[in-house]
Chains A and B, each alone.
Chain A
Amino acid sequence: MNKKQAFLNGLRDGIPIGLGYYAVAFSLGIIARKAGLNAIEGFFNSLLARASAGEYAGLTMILTHATIVETFLVSFITNARYMLMTTALSQRFSTDTSVFKRIAVAFCMTDEIFGATIARPGYVIPQYTYGLTAIAAPLWGLGTASGIIAGGIMPARAVSALSVALYGMFIAIIIPPARRERPVLICVIVSFLLSYLCSDSCALPIPYVQEISTGTRTIILTVLISAVAALVAPVKEEDPEDA
């Protein structure tokens, strides 16, 4: 397939992804507004970051006046999955793909764009991924900007309803693997439980835990639960795909 055709295919496949992004980014915009971002700042922040959980975590850091170290660690933890994705991606480039193109494609990765890129058989065609991003990323930014603008004029009830869209997306990411794999299911249940026990909503607060910031609690719980899961249920050795 030639490069132009690949780019056009990317644009086409990017439309449904972008529309979904627009809707979900809207709820991110509501939070961005609370964090004090205006529409233009929100647009560029989303355009450059393109990460739902990661941006949400970053905005929470602004709201809670987190430290630089906390912000870095939370960004790292909430986006660590991209490291897994681009590690997998690195195995799918043809040997003549330049370093510049590898970097550009890796920079485009989101859950959905990774999914669409990797779903195509054979080597990764960079232009296809560029096409996906060219349509989906601006819509992600526009959705955020719209949320910032409309969040202020919408009735509180509508804002309340839209603010769960992001959590809906998180749920849709974690549940399918939890259904397929017992260890992931147990991880999710344990995460919900411990997260609740450590939260401010908990009826029986654990001493000292409430003094730790939300971001740090997220890091500690993630590292703890994932490490225990990795020890108790290590993943199977991968398919013999490396030559």
Chain B
Amino acid sequence: MHKYIYMLIVIVTIALIRVLPVTLIRKKIDNRFIRSFLYYVPYVTLAVMTFPAIMEATESPVAGAVALVCGIVAAWLGLGLFPVSIICCLVVFVLEFIL
């Protein structure tokens, strides 16, 4: 399948996901199970995509694992998206230099 087909599917799907609720759902979703399910989905999917993929993205899996731990600690302490990303990058850069 051509890459443009993939890009098109992704772009159109994301656009519809963003736009449909404000046009279709004028009322609140009452079903508690659906609301709960939708609440957990973003966190679960990001967690699933982060580990163990972060260890496969780096040249040394150990560096990826340490970056994950450092990122979690930094985010736990309240740092934002940008600082946490930078810390993860620096950890990998330094560790792969030493290892």
Specify which of A83, A187, A201 is in contact with B21 (CB 8 Å cutoff): A83
Q: Quick one: which of A148-170 are within 8 Å of B by CB? A: 156-158, 160-170
State whether A53 and B45 are in contact (beta carbons under 8 Å apart), knowing that A80-B17, A107-B18, A160-B92 are contacts in the complex. yes
Q: Complex Cα distance A187/B38, Å?
A: 13
Q: In the complex, how many residues of chain A place their beta carbon closer than 8 angstroms to a beta carbon of chain B?
A: 103
Specify which of A176, A192, A234, A242 is in contact with B47 (CB 8 Å cutoff): A192
Q: When the two chains form their complex, are residues A65 and B1 in contact, meaning their CB atoms are under 8 A apart?
A: yes
| B6, B9, B80, most chain A CB atoms within 10 A | B6
State whether A171 and B75 are in contact (beta carbons under 8 Å apart), knowing that A76-B17, A157-B59 are contacts in the complex. yes
Majority secondary structure of chain B interface residues (helix, strand, loop or mixed):
helix
State whether A84 and B38 are in contact (beta carbons under 8 Å apart), knowing that A157-B93, A163-B57 are contacts in the complex. yes
Q: When the two chains form their complex, are residues B81 and A24 in contact, meaning their CB atoms are under 8 A apart?
A: yes
Q: When the two chains form their complex, are residues B6 and A173 in contact, meaning their CB atoms are under 8 A apart?
A: no
Q: Complex Cα distance A77/B57, Å?
A: 22
Specify which of B35, B61, B68 is in contact with A171 (CB 8 Å cutoff): B68
Q: When the two chains form their complex, are residues A222 and B41 in contact, meaning their CB atoms are under 8 A apart?
A: yes
Q: When the two chains form their complex, are residues B1 and A191 in contact, meaning their CB atoms are under 8 A apart?
A: no
Q: Complex Cα distance A217/B48, Å?
A: 9
Q: In the complex, how many residues of chain B place their beta carbon closer than 8 angstroms to a beta carbon of chain A?
A: 76
| B3, B48, B80, most chain A CB atoms within 10 A | B48
A226 located at the interface, meaning its Cβ lies under 8 Å from any Cβ of chain B in the complex: yes
Q: Complex Cα distance A72/B15, Å?
A: 12
Chain B nearest CB: distance from A134 CB in Å? 17
Q: When the two chains form their complex, are residues B85 and A169 in contact, meaning their CB atoms are under 8 A apart?
A: yes
Give A36's nearest chain B residue, CB to CB: B3
Q: When the two chains form their complex, are residues A218 and B45 in contact, meaning their CB atoms are under 8 A apart?
A: yes
Complex A-B, nearest 8 residue pairs according to Cβ-Cβ distance, in ascending order: A81-B42, A168-B85, A175-B75, A191-B47, A230-B36, A168-B88, A58-B10, A161-B93
30 of the cross-chain contacts (CB-CB < 8 Å) are A23-B82, A24-B85, A45-B7, A62-B3, A62-B6, A75-B10, A77-B45, A79-B17, A86-B19, A86-B20, A106-B18, A164-B64, A168-B88, A169-B81, A172-B71, A172-B81, A173-B42, A173-B81, A175-B72, A176-B75, A177-B43, A183-B40, A184-B40, A184-B43, A192-B51, A200-B56, A221-B48, A230-B37, A235-B32, A235-B36
8 additional A-B residue pairs with CB within 8 Å, beyond A71-B6, A227-B37, A234-B36: A41-B7, A51-B14, A67-B1, A90-B21, A157-B59, A164-B57, A165-B89, A231-B33
